Chain A
Amino acid sequence: MILRTFSNLCAQSQACFRSARAKSTLSDVIDETGKSGLILKSLSTDIFENLALEDWIHDHVDLQNRNMLFLWSNAPAVVIGRHQNPWQECNLQVMRQKGIPLARRRSGGGTVFHDLGNVNFTFFTSKKNYDRHRNLQVVTSALKGLRPDMDVRATERFDILLNGQHKISGTAAKLGRTAAYHHCTLLCSADRALLSAVLKPTCQGIKSNATQSVPSPVKNLLDEDPTLDCDTIMDSVASQYNTEFGFSSPVTLVDPSDELSLPGIQRMACELLAWEWTFGRTPKFSICTTFELKNDTSICNATLNMDIKNGIIETCDIEVPSDWLPVELSREFSLHLIGGKLCPYQTSVIAAAFLRTIPQNKEFERKMYNLCRRVVFMM
């Protein structure tokens, strides 16, 4: 596969057209090449930069008579669909412990775990030419090209199954006003233990009408055949893309942090990083759960009821048996959480400040502290 960096491509087209512009943007360069098919590969493994690049291409490149394939992979991250609930879909405490970021993409669908052993393909087309089956055929044909007797099949739900039982790829898509993109994952050599550890709910008792993921048994292609690594597969899919659509495009490397060629991309990446997008865009939901509170001498069961809209706690009711802790304390604490984000950090700050204001009593202090920690743990 001929690999070129974006600057090579830029230099080539600039030389061809002797442009007087100081620096062209990626879409200018693409238009100048006059090609109807392009393959891009990301130089970054940052999930936010790559998602921002997808959005940038969708918004700025003229896709009416052009198709594009974008190849990318990321350092460990969890990606939830546009209308999903992160508290329901993934274990935020484990992710925080392991430093795994959460990203919300703009396309629909379910939650996926990304790491460097997982490859992503994004197929950009005009709305007219949107055809997910054809795109998935590119992937399955590429795999079959590498291993002719491997059983890989695309299902009606746009998953790709290995040997008819294990899911190796999931799909999501977005239809904009005039253009569309369809992206899918492919499990080559992902960390399956980590995958199952993070794809569990953060807390119990969540009631929500957010899009729910459908869990499936997964397998790595590398387990099936040790010679199938990410780079081999990416090259094969790129070739097959050219064959299927009749293009002759080399793979061009792109740096998603290059603001000069991709004006506005930093702002797009910042939007994706913001709490308001990742957590704040969760459809309205409620948590209704019971939990145990322990201290050295006693144990009791407490209940928590919360309504959350846009990630902000709208109503909160924490009930603790009055013989364990005075009702006013738990009630006051509940009231203090209202209007705050469903965020462990913000809640910890409120809890710490609250603990300093309660009248001194070693026993109540201890119990209240336990309650605060337990509530924070659910976020």
Chain B
Amino acid sequence: MLSHSRCVTRNVSRFIAVISQGNNVLARQAVSGLSASRSVTVNNPAKCGARSSVFQIRYFRTSSACRNEVITVKTPAFAESVTEGDVRWEKAVGDSVKEDEVVCEIETDKTSVQVPSPAAGVIEELLVPDGEKVEGGQALFKLRKGAVAAQAAEAPAAVAAPPPPAAATPPASAVGPIPTTMPPVPPVPGAAISATPVSAIKPTDAPAAFADGRGIPARTEHRVKMNRMRLRIAQRLKEAQNTCAMLTTFNEVDMSNISEMRKAYKDTFLKKHNIKLGFMSAFVKASAYALMDQPSVNGVIDDTTKEVVYRDYVDISVAVATPKGLVVPVIRGVEGMNFADIEKTINELGEKARKNELAVEDMDGGTFTISNGGVFGSMFGTPIINPPQSAILGMHGIFDRPVAIGGKVEIRPMMYVALTYDHRLIDGREAVTFLRKIKAVVEDPRVLLLDL
């Protein structure tokens, strides 16, 4: 009883201190919180001191049993003259449980028996290791009866825990159905970059309450450790950026012809091949054609042996955003494929990605990457090379724009395309010619037929 009253006084004095700060809103809320509970239940006197916010008064539950009694819960008797079973814990030490919530299950002879908690409280000790045998009537676990532990302390811990195991793959920006952009390189800030390391930055103090009496939203921050894979990829990306002489050339593509072709043939295509005719196949085929024409764009510098590796085949990596992160499946041997083959492969890979079935062999390698920022509505941008390759094509959104055609202004569906390339290997002339070839093929696919 003494410990109980000590804590109540502590809370009351803190509440008074808050009022004296002139924070009327909080005081009003605190008053209602305190008056609502007939008896303020204290969970653990030792934990009381750690509290610094007045908000947790709201989290105290009204309960008639406000003593910190520890009870031992025994294994229930088994049905049908069974004598023992294996215990499988659902909750761990320190977890709070409500009355009747399942704490563990006992598996006896093909039957799973649930063991509920007899009262609300916190699990104090598990008396039998997971998977071990127990007999009916045997002591199972200790429960400290009382209010549910403050959720304020648990919430940040719960928030911090899910992010690290969640993404072992580099998380992408958002969900996308079809190929999307690689993480864009942020623009270089005009002003000098501050030399203050992030760890030195202290969370700034909360400003005074808003004039209209609104409460201040919480200004906490939480830290999540970067996972190893992300660190490694970041390192590799920076290395590539430091060794490559990376720059980007742009062009624009008039999508009217290809849109028309698509409109004219989409039904027949669907009927014959059972899949939809999209734009990606045009760009993939155009890229393969241009890569065979400009072999240096399809090659790569081997920094260790100081050789240029030229490849006779074209494997195009397509960046795809999935809910779990960015994946880059590869379409192999594009130089020998036609639009239908390419669409089929893209479709297959897309299905696999959606069903989480992509294998290592589907994602390994690639001589050139295409990323499509257009699905997110990107207009213009510089993609970053996907090492160890020498170039990447960035596709952006198709927007109607006024363009000059034969001396007149016409509205055409236009797409900006960008090619980021390694200048150590690829000259400006080659890069521009490459991009113009892609433009030529997409604007008029007959170029492919006539090998122009």
> Which residues A45-104 have CB closer than 8 A to chain B?
81-83, 96
Q: Are A339 and B165 in contact (CB under 8 A)?
A: yes
Stretch at the interface among B111-119, B194-202, B390-398: B111-119
Count: A-B pairs, CB below 8 Å: 147
Indicate which residue in A210, A350, A352, A360 contacts B168 across the interface (CB closer than 8 Å).
A350
Contact with A along B119-136 (1 / 0, CB 8 A): 000000000001100000
Decide if A171 touches B110 in the complex (CB within 8 Å): yes
Asked if A117 lies at the interface with its beta carbon under 8 angstroms from chain B, I say no
- Which one of B112, B229, B328 contacts A173 once the chains associate, using CB atoms below 8 Å? B112
**A172 in the interface (beta carbon within 8 A):** yes
A250 within 8 A of B: no
B233 touches A (CB below 8 Å): yes
Contact indicator per residue, chain B 229-241, by CB within 8 Å of chain A (1) or not (0): 1001101100000
Of B27-35, B47-55, B359-367, B430-438, the one with at least 4 CB within 8 A of chain A: B359-367
Interface size on A, residues (CB 8 A): 56
Within 8 Å by CB of A339, from B79, B130, B168, B357, lies: B168
Question: Chain B CB within 10 Å — which of A312, A351, A360 has the most?
Answer: A360
Q: Does A194 contact B (CB under 8 A)?
A: no
A373 touching B304, Cβ below 8 Å: no
Cβ contacts under 8 Å, B107 to chain A: 81-83, 108, 211
Check A372/B360 contact, CB under 8 A, given A108-B112, A209-B131, A349-B325. yes
Chain B nearest CB from A337 CB (Å) reads: 8
Q: Are B112 and A174 in contact (CB under 8 A)?
A: yes
Over the window 341-366 of chain A, the binary record of Cβ atoms lying under 8 Å from chain B Cβ atoms (1 yes, 0 no) is 10111101111111111011100000
Residues on the A chain within 8 Å of B304, using CB = 359-361
Q: Which residue of B lies closest to A372 (CB)?
A: B360
Contacts of B364 in A (CB 8 A): 352, 355, 369
A11 at the interface (CB under 8 A from B): no
Partner of A345, one of B105, B108, B236, B358: B358
| A5 within 8 Å of B (CB atoms) | no
Asked whether any CB of chain B lies closer than 8 Å to the CB of A266, the reply is no
0/1 string, B322-356, CB within 8 A of A gives 1: 00110110000000000000000000000000001
Given contacts A127-B79, A339-B168, 14 further A-B contacts (CB under 8 A): A131-B80, A173-B112, A175-B111, A336-B168, A336-B228, A341-B165, A343-B356, A345-B356, A349-B327, A349-B358, A353-B229, A355-B360, A360-B302, A372-B360
Q: Which residues does B use to contact A, with CB under 8 Å? A: 79-80, 86, 88, 100, 105, 107-114, 116, 130-131, 164-165, 168-170, 227-229, 232-233, 235-236, 300, 302-304, 324-325, 327-328, 356-364, 386-388
Q: List 24 A-B contacts (CB under 8 A).
A: A108-B105, A132-B80, A158-B110, A173-B111, A177-B116, A210-B131, A336-B229, A338-B228, A339-B165, A339-B228, A340-B168, A348-B362, A349-B168, A349-B324, A349-B325, A352-B360, A353-B169, A353-B170, A355-B364, A356-B236, A357-B236, A360-B300, A372-B360, A373-B359
B-binding residues in A (CB < 8 A)? 81-83, 96, 106-110, 127, 130-132, 157-158, 171-177, 209-211, 283-284, 312, 332, 335-336, 338-341, 343-346, 348-357, 359-361, 369, 372-373, 376
